[in-house]
Amino acid sequence: MRDADPKTIYLKDYSVPEYLIDNVALGFNLDEENTTVTARMTLIRNPASLAVGTALVLLGENLRLHRVVLNDANELGEQDYQQTDDALIIHNVPQQHSFVLTIENSINPKANTALEGLYLSNGMLCTQCEAEGFRKITYFLDRPDVMTRFTTTLEGDKDRYPVLLSNGNKIAYGELPDNRHWVTWEDPFRKPCYLFALVAGQLACLEDRFTTCSGRSVSLHIFAEPYDLDKCGHAMQSLKNAMLWDEQVYGREYDLDLYMIVAVSHFNMGAMENKGLNVFNTKFVLARPDTATDFDYEHIEGVIGHEYFHNWTGNRVTCRDWFQLSLKEGFTVFRDQEFTGDKTSKAVKRIEDVNMLRTRQFSEDAGPMAHPIRPDAYIEINNFYTLTVYEKGAEVVRMLHTLLGADGFRKGSDLYFERHDGQAVTCDDFVNAMEAANSVDLSQFRRWYEQAGTPVVTVQQTYDANAHTLTLTLSQNCPPTPGQHHKAPLLIPVAMGLMNADGSVAPCQLQGQQADQACILQLTQAQQTFTFVGLTQQPVLSVLRGFSAPVKVLMERSLDELAFLLSHDSDTFNRWEAGQQLASRIIFGLVGDVQNGLALQLNPIMLDAFEKVLQYPWPDLSYFSLLLSLPSENYLAEQMTIVDVEAIHTAREFVVRSLAEHFQAVLRGLYQRYHLDESGQFDSGAIGRRRIKNICLGYLSRLNAVDIQQWALQQFNSAKNMTDQIAALSDIVNNPHADKQICLARFYQQWQAEALVIDKWFTLQATSKMPDAFQTVLALMNHPAFDLSNPNRVRSLIGAFSQANAVHFHAANGQGYAFLGDQIIALNTLNPQVASRMVGALTSWAKYDVNRQALMKAQLERIINTANISKDVYEVASKSLSPLSA
């Protein structure tokens, strides 16, 4: 049975550690079923702690304890310590300032299916210690504010573990009897134990070098299984790009002689920034034109950059406690977003990030798991690796960048690193540095760290033709969230532009200030008025340019005004946003028609707007492809009070088919113009041409014309790159194509040795909108290639179906909910962290009709009442049943 009353951890209860670990020498005798760990720690009493003479409590789980020795001489007996399920308590520790404690224990990596601590991944031993995995390796002060110098010696069989890796620099190695060998690694920088890493296995290595801005030569090593080594070149170039960018933009230079990345197939996360030895999910390392899409290439570079940037924003300066997780993650996500924008298209990157935020994080903010980017309580910290902490956290950092400007933000970050290098600090320390470096008061801004929910900004305007003034009234409010029913006003930067009726720029001059082409309004009150002067005609407003704050905007707009903005707004984000709002309004009108049984007709404004987009000579074809894309069903659902999944699907599909029919000739022409063989080319032009070609094929495939079906089949058969092949297969799978099963079988046969490609094969079928999708998912659960112990495979099938196939997952008979409940319960004892992620698809039950609410709640209650339910799953499921509880 689960713990009847799992312990809640509160930020308000934080206290400094009573002991610190100055250094530790770790020894591992590696074996997949019986690894012995020896930890020789030098502990000191923390002078900042007020506790005197207290017991030493070291955290540990699932460990077989063998020996405990004090000061290298005094072996303790069982009467000298107490073992619990999660700790080793030593009551009578020496009274001197420092002492040495040696602990020997053993663990079974093969049995560790939770993939936390030391575990087996496809024959390779590897670790994942964030957030609390190190306690599954040995007894330790497993908390981020205990920063320690690590020296690690690994010993193992030379045939099974020819490569032995850990953090820092390799300082010694040697041979041992019985075909064994050893390697010692030393990390000269203090770090919390969550940044510890170990990898041992049969690995091949791609090597390169990078010369830093000060002239130091750094060795770069990417390790992968031998048959994957030819897919590591893009990751290596991405790493060098990230290292150069961080020097140029932030002045941050790498600090070790060696930087290593290891690709592993079984991994709960995307990647991990362990000091000098990053462990990565293979998904974010391996790429070859025939196995990885353009999307994969861009995201690999982004994730490589993210983990590298953590060397300063997370490693050199880390978080004091796990409530401060956004300190490192929000800042680093912002940095990787800017890096990707600089390397690809700023407009496209911004839109993709905001689209994901509004589709998924806004939903999280509106649900029972809503929390501030700095939570104030948790039961299981793994449940707070959320979009709120990461993506909304990045938006909060971006607002600081907007308010302070690029130069002011750089001054603030420089001061932050200068003040806190080598320390474990808080979100307040970050804001304090920004404040001090720029001599500004950010007291009100700090509320972004404390308040949950998505603020709503209402915009009202009054134009005075005689005075040539525009009065803008902005008001803000934030809906109640669990435990927070009343919210104080936030500091919200609202980037603004004004346009004349002919599309030209109107002067943006606030009363008493100089005119400019744009401005940033600082909304600080519940309601605030701003007056623009010098306007000889009523302007059209461009509000929240660049998505300058993570808020929803309520503003009366006609369809004609939205179409005007789509044609004329100089802000790339707001131009795209106008098109999304226009399409959403029209689709929601059709949703009403579906619900009322009326015949569907497409508003001619939509046709006119789409035609103008098609006719414009866009220099950035990737941006052009986004302008041609309709809002997703998930995004549309997020905007409804009570979601009608069938009506949304029917209305959106009607718009897609109508546009395809009306613009068939233009779409055919664009497809043929850009249907080129540019495999292996990943410049922005080639990527843009593939995006346009494939979005046009997607529209045309809805027509079910014989020649278009042949186009899709021909592209599938002849494609030499994964972007084109998977796009064609998607069109075949999502339409009544005669060769669907043949193509799926051929694709599997072609790529069955490539796990990441087979993940795509599972996802395509799991997200198909065709009537047989659910039965297909059930059948795939029994496919020989499906493995419930592999997080990537679970996400590709179960996660994709429950999170990206609304029309089938939310079937009125509840079969999708029951299926997910079964899988969560099966995953619970196998991998609680992955299981808890799957619960998310059930947490928004309050947004659906009464029948679906009952069916979803029944599954949540079933999960909670399952014997041996993990605290990971229990926390999410139990909180989900009380959407606005205190």
Could you report how far apart the first and last alpha carbons of the chain are, in Å? 26
Q: In terms of DSSP bridges, do strands 377-378 and 9-10 run parallel, antiparallel, or are they unpaired?
A: antiparallel
Radius of gyration of the chain (CA): 28
Active-site option among 32, 116, 307, 754: 307
The strand pairing partners of 497, in sequence order, are 542
Residue matched to tokens 């290098």? 421
CA distance 364 to 362: 5
Residue matched to tokens 């750094």? 218
Pair 334, 401: CB distance under 8 Å: yes
**Backbone angle region of 704, left / alpha / beta, with phi > 0 → left and psi within -120 to 50 → alpha:** left
Tell me the helix, strand and coil percentages in the chain, rounded to 5: 45, 20, 35
Phi, psi values for residue 311, rounded to 5°? -55, -35
Candidates 829, 755, 825; CA nearest to 111 is 829
Q: With 0-12 CB in 10 A as exposed, 13-18 as middle and 19+ as buried, what is 867? A: exposed
Residue matched to tokens 């789980």? 61
CA distance 519 to 522: 10
CA distance 416 to 437: 9
Half-sphere CA count of 802, side-chain side, radius 13 A: 28
CA distance 546 to 562: 16
| Type of residue at 512 | G
Q: With 0-12 CB in 10 A as exposed, 13-18 as middle and 19+ as buried, what is 422? A: exposed
- Dihedral (CA of 382, 383, 384, 387) sign: positive
What's 505's DSSP letter? B
Residue matched to tokens 């045309």? 700
CA distance 477 to 492: 11
What's 506's DSSP letter? P
Residue 298 appears among annotated catalytic residues: no
C-beta neighbour count of 288 within 10 angstroms: 18
The residues, ordered by sequence, that sit 6+ positions from 163 with a Cβ below 8 Å of its Cβ are: 199, 200, 201, 202, 203, 205, 223
| Type of residue at 151 | T
C-beta neighbour count of 462 within 10 angstroms: 12
Residue matched to tokens 């092949």? 725
- Dihedral (CA of 278, 281, 285, 286) sign: positive
C-beta neighbour count of 204 within 10 angstroms: 15
| DSSP string across 28-53 | EE--SS-EEEEEEEEEEE-TT----S
Helices (H), 218-360: 233-250, 294-309, 325-343, 346-356
Q: In terms of DSSP bridges, do strands 74-75 and 64-70 run parallel, antiparallel, or are they unpaired?
A: antiparallel
The residues, ordered by sequence, that sit 6+ positions from 741 with a Cβ below 8 Å of its Cβ are: none
Candidates 255, 273, 269; CA nearest to 314 is 273
Q: What is the dihedral of CA 786, 790, 796, 800, to 10 degrees?
A: 110
**Total count of residues recorded for the chain:** 886
Candidates 815, 886, 823, 828; CA nearest to 856 is 815
What's 114's DSSP letter? T
SS3 of 367, please?
coil
Indicate which residues carry an active-site annotation: 307
